Amino acid sequence: MCSGSRLFSAPSTHPYVDPCKSGMLCGAPFPPRPRAIATFLSSADYLPGCQTLLYSVRRHMAPTPDDHYPPEIIVLLSSKVPSAASNIFCDRIIRVEHIPIAKGKNEKNDLNIQAWDENRGWTKLRLFELEGYDTILYIDADCLVLKDVSHLLRIDDPITSSMETEKRVGLLAAAPDMFTPNKFNTGVMLLRPSASVFNEMMCSLGVFPTLKHDSCNPNRELPLSASETRDSTEIYTYYEGRDTGFLNSFYPGWSSDMPSYSRLPFGYNAQRLMNHRNYDSQPKYWDDPIGEITIIHFRSTPKPWENDIDTPICGPNDHALDRKAAYNVQMSNRSMLESMWRAAYERSQQYHKDVVKRRVAHSKQKIQAKPRALPMPSAAPPAKTEPRSVHMLVHKRYNELRRTGMDIKEAMSTARGEYGLDKIDDRDPASAVGQMFGLS
């Protein structure tokens, strides 16, 4: 997937500093926070999907203007997923702690979402606490990007730089769900992280104790009374309590009260299930707008990588599966959408191989370019130089240098130079080697 593992507990401000925005020239106190395109890896089963998504994001990303920093591509990695992960397809890997299931009064619904929770479903909500980023475009790991999506990170920007408006926090935009267009699907979301919003979510879920600010002391928090506490069972009344249902309950005004840009077009979260159910009877529903589709969401099962890809991960630092060993491509047996995913997956495989090859070549160049610290000669030349004794010392020094990896000609020349024999003659290398053994 997304060789070497670099895991972080929380994002930090990117080291890039824009002098026009950093405060060095304009008086602002801090540099701008970076923006990010993120996905969440909840289990190793989603590695092929995550790899393909990240590759498709990077492949279609538009060039970034000179006065902007390109968005970081990040992966949230569940704490319950093995730590090995690759950063070939992403800029950053952030390990996040699992959010435990909230126990409500509705035992039936609790049981319905137990298996889902074991797949770390609630942990996706940790996106909302990553305040190191100004704006995050989140895309589920079972999606495929067909066009540039980085422009979505700017839809909440002021129209002019002179406009001073308070920034919205939390959910900024999402696309409608499949059968309930007045609700949104959480497979694609634009959000501005806020610790206060995240804490409110956790209180609603019963994960954190419910608290409120003391009006007399803003820095002090007090427990909520029973009448003020949100009934945690309400989160299970829609979508069986999963993250989409919870976030729709948390943002009930998405379709009516938020700005118009908060409702992204269908093409930003085109769900495959709609294609499977309607294509035979209404092919134009997909064929006509396919050019307008930006993100395909393979929400239903089986996932495009299932059944064909059954080879286990090769090693702790190599999550790109070997295509020939993993599966036989069967394009004729798959629909148009699965074929599109398969083609992108194959390209991501080749991309992985190319990057690994370049990194190996670069490492070799660095090693070759690095000046070698040569060991000091083990013995100084005798005061009265007897030729045979000097040659024995040169021979010993030659062997020392060869053990450092120096080639034959360079080792011989260096050893002779250290003992002054390079000034005695200009013999060819064969004669010089013979002289080292006292055969001159």
Q: What are the distances in angstroms from CA 167 to CA 155, 158, 431?
A: 12, 9, 80
Mean predicted confidence (pLDDT) in 23-30:
42
| Threshold 0.85, pTM exceeds | no
| pLDDT band, residue 203 (cuts 50/70/90) | confident
**Segment 405-414, tens digit of pLDDT:** 787 878 888 8
For the chain, the first-to-last Cα distance in angstroms comes to 62
Domain regions of the chain by residue span = 7-362, 387-436
Chain mean pLDDT for the chain: 72
Alpha helices (runs of H) in 88-242, residue ranges in sequence order: 107-118, 195-205
Query: Is the model's pLDDT at 416 over the cut of 50?
Result: yes
Length of the chain: 440
CB atoms within 10 A of CB 377: 16
Mean predicted confidence (pLDDT) in 41-67:
90
pLDDT for 392: 82
Query: Is the model's pLDDT at 179 over the cut of 80?
Result: no
Comparing C-alpha atoms, which of 241, 233, 232 is closest to residue 210? 232
Highest-confidence segment of 59-73, 102-116, 309-323:
59-73
CB atoms within 10 A of CB 389: 14
137-146, 149-158, 319-328, 340-349: segment of lowest average pLDDT: 319-328
Mean predicted confidence (pLDDT) in 50-71:
90
Q: d(Cα 336, Cα 68) in Å, to the nearest integer?
A: 37
Residue 135 burial class via C-beta count within 10 angstroms: exposed 0-12, middle 13-18, buried 19 and up:
buried
Task: Please give the distance of CA 137 from its chain centroid, rounded to a whole number.
Answer: 12
Contact 54, 39 (CB under 8 A): yes
pLDDT for 137: 98
Residues 6 or more apart whose Cβ sits within 8 Å of residue 132: 10, 11, 12, 13, 33, 34, 193
Q: d(Cα 268, Cα 184) in Å, to the nearest integer?
A: 12
Which CATH number, 3.90.550.10, 3.40.1350.10, 3.40.190.10, 3.90.950.10, labels domain 7-362? 3.90.550.10
